[in-house]
Amino acid sequence: MTDTRPPTDLDRVIGFTIPGRHARGRVARLGPVLDEILSAHAYPPVIERLLAEALTLTALLGSTLKDAEGQMTLQAQTQGGIVSLLVCDYKGGELRGYVQYDAERLAMLGKNPSLYALFNKGYLAVTFDQALTKERYQGIVPLDGASLAAAAESYFLQSEQIPSLVRLGMHRNEAGKLIAGGIFLQHLPEGEEGRERLHTKLDHPEWHHVETLASTMGPDELADASIPLENLVWRLFNEEPEVRLLAGTDLARGCRCDASYIMQVLGKFPAEERAAMADENGVISVDCAFCSTKFPVPLADFVPPPL
C-alpha cells in the first residue's frame, strides 16, 4: 500500500494499546492548528509555550473520549498569580484555548520562568463531560509540579489511582512557528479498560517497563513533524509481542461562538439589562476570548415578546 500521508505529520492524534503490558496511550502533534489558536492574541513567547503545552495535553486527554459529542476541559487557575486563567477544551477533534495574564508582571520575569512563578499557588482542573449520559467527571490537583505534564500525572494518580506518564515537547520551525508534540501513557491495573478495579497495586512491574521505555522519547522527537506518529510508537515499543494502533483523529481549531449562539445567550437577559450593555449607538459588543472575534449585536435585533 502506498503511503499517501504528507511528509509532515501534524494536527493529528493516534491511540495505541499494549495488551501484554496492560497499557494504553496517545501520541499527538500540533502545527498549523496551534499557530491559528496562538495568532488570535499577541501572546509573548513564554505564554505561547505555556498554551502550546496545554493544548497538546488537551488533545491527548480529550481524544480518550468515546462519546463523539463529549467535551474535555482543562483549566488552570490561581489567585494572585501572573497567569490568572488558562483554559483549553476538546470536542470532536476541535481544540480551543486562551490565557489571561498580567503583562506587566510577566515582563519582570526571565525567559524561562517556573510554573510556580507563573501561577503561584494554583490548581489544575480536568473535566470530562459525557454528552450521551449527561455525566460529568472532574478532578482537581494543585499546580505544584515542575510542569503541566507533571500536574496531569498527579491528576490521574490522585483522582483515578492510575499510574500515568505525560511527556511534552516543542520547537520552532524554520518559519518561527511552534510545533508541539506529546505522549500520554496509562497503566490499566486490572488489565481491561472499563473493568471494575477491586484494588490498586503499589507495584506494577509491567507498568515500570513501558514507563521506562516511554521516558526515553525526547521532546525533539515528539515535536519533529517529519516523523509519523505511528513511527514514534514503533520506536518505543517495537520489541513488544503486540502493539495495537487505534484509529487516528485529525485536529482542528474550533470555536463555538457565532452570531446565532450569542443572540440566544443575550436573549435570556431582561431587556433593561441588555440596554445597559449597549453603547450609545444601541449596539452590544461581544468579544470571544478564544478566537478574538468581535460580534456587534444591535438592540433592535431583539424582537419583544407578544403581549
Distance (Å, whole) CA 187 – CA 204 = 9
Note the pTM of the prediction, 2 decimals. Answer: 0.85
| Burial class of residue 227 (count of CB atoms within 10 Å of its CB; 0-12, 13-18, 19+) | middle
Query: In the chain, where are the structural domains located?
Result: 12-253, 259-301
Q: Are strands 252-253 and 94-101 parallel, antiparallel or unpaired?
A: parallel
The chain-wide mean pLDDT, for the chain, equals: 84
Q: Find how far residue 125's CA is from the centre of its chain.
A: 12
CATH code of the domain occupying 12-253:
3.55.30.10
Contact of 197 with 189, CB cutoff 8 Å: yes
pLDDT tens for 250-294 read: 999 987 766 676 777 777 778 887 888 878 878 777 766 666 666
3-state secondary structure of 117: helix
The average pLDDT across 150-168 equals: 87
Number of other CB atoms surrounding residue 133 within 10 Å: 9
Identity (one letter) of the amino acid at 126? V
245's grid cell: 494502533
Please provide the DSSP assignment of 204-273 as one string: -HHHHHHHHHHTT--HHHHT-TTS-HHHHHHHHHTTSS--EEPPPEE-EE-----HHHHHHHHTTS-HHH
pLDDT tens, 86-119? Answer: 999 999 999 999 999 999 999 988 788 888 889 9
Contact assessment for residue 17 and residue 23, using Cβ atoms and an 8 Å cutoff: yes
Distance, in Å, from the CA atom of 298 to the CA atom of 279, rounded to the nearest integer, reads 10
